[in-house]
Amino acid sequence: MKALLTLSLLFLSSLFIGQNEFNKYMNEANFCMQKEDYINAIKKYSKALEYKSSASNHYKVADVYMYRAICRFSLQNTESALSDLDEALKIKPEYTNLYQLKSQIYFHNKQFDKCIEWCDKGLEIKPGADDMLMRKAGALTSLKRYNESNAIYFKLLEENNRNQKACKMIANNYQMKKNWDSAQVYFSMAIQIDPLDFESFFDRGICKAEKKDFAGALSDNEQAMRIDSLEKFIGYNNIAYFIKLAEKDYKGAIEYFNKAIELNPKFAYSYSNRGYSKLKLGDIKGAYQDIRKSIELDNTNSYAYKNLALVCLEDGKKSDACKYLLKAKAMGYEERYDDEVEKLLQEHCKN
């Protein structure tokens, strides 16, 4: 949503024009929009449209519809925003920013097929438009169409071999396919482009850990933490989760989760992961406390519900475990992680 506002501000400065009733209300609306006073901006854009016959050209009318759409979407009024963009397209069908905005709204609302449709329409007018290609690729990733997504990113990388975002997204798609070797290659390329890219160090560390290169994983996490000390809690969590847990060093994992939580007491993932570590050490009470704390901080994490189900199973509370497994499944656990929840449901919750 913030990107829509950023895009809009690029154009607003050119829209403060000479006065008539249409221009007067349009200028007032633009001023309100710049202050993020969207309610009054919408009122004034609507007032300007009452005088659209006095606009100097019909493209100015299209602009009013477009900016009212952005304000409406900023207030989460999606249908009205899309309707305004449709009106603008009737006036200015060659204006690619309208296609970009429609695709962005659909992406934000997780309507990825619609996002791709409108990216394609915009690309018919402006082939090779990087912004729409990137968004289309992102939508394809969200639909798990990783090969199609990477085909776009590869094309962008061919056109600009220093396109770091394309490198990172290619690597991310390979990660999602658990192709750790290829993911590592492209995270390394991203790091070559920007040696201070701590995120790629963290992600490359995950790839190395998945390949059992724990020394390399530790090195990458430590480098990321040196680059950005504010993100140290992620490094400690990653070392604990991807290295210590993989080595079944549960006490060592807890030490690193403790460090992560000390630095960021609101980092929900570390509580859930520490709870799992406590479960493996037989501390049922501590496991419950940590995982419930994790869900209190972030109730959208399906992994925490899976961990809570594991504790319930260990505690002999099968019906509660099945309830939490079903919740984890409904929240998309399999799409994001693996098939463990489904296996547990088949094993424990058939009847």
The tokens 């809690």 sit on which residue?
A: 233
Mean pLDDT (whole number) for 37-45: 97
pLDDT digits 0-9 by tens, 157-173:
999 999 999 999 999 99
Q: What predicted TM-score, i.e. pTM, was given to this entire model? A: 0.85
- If pLDDT is split at 50, 70 and 90, which confidence band does 15 have? very low
> Taking every pair of C-alpha atoms in the chain, what is the biggest distance, in angstroms?
76
The residue length of the chain stands at: 351
Residue 139 pLDDT exceeds 80: yes
- If pLDDT is split at 50, 70 and 90, which confidence band does 256 have? very high
pLDDT digits 0-9 by tens, 192-229:
999 999 999 999 999 999 999 999 999 999 999 999 99
- pLDDT for position 212: 96
CB 290, CB 266: distance < 8 Å:
no
pLDDT digits 0-9 by tens, 173-198:
999 999 999 999 999 999 999 999 99
Report d(CA 100, CA 108) in Å as an integer.
12
* Cα–Cα distances in angstroms (integers) from residue 193 to residues 22, 168, 231, 233, 243, in the given order: 49, 11, 21, 25, 27
pLDDT digits 0-9 by tens, 320-332:
999 999 999 999 9
Average pLDDT score over the chain? 93
Taking each helix axis from N to C end, the angle separating 198-210 and 180-193, rounded to the nearest 10 degrees, works out to 160
Report residue 75 as tokens. 């207030």
- If pLDDT is split at 50, 70 and 90, which confidence band does 2 have? low
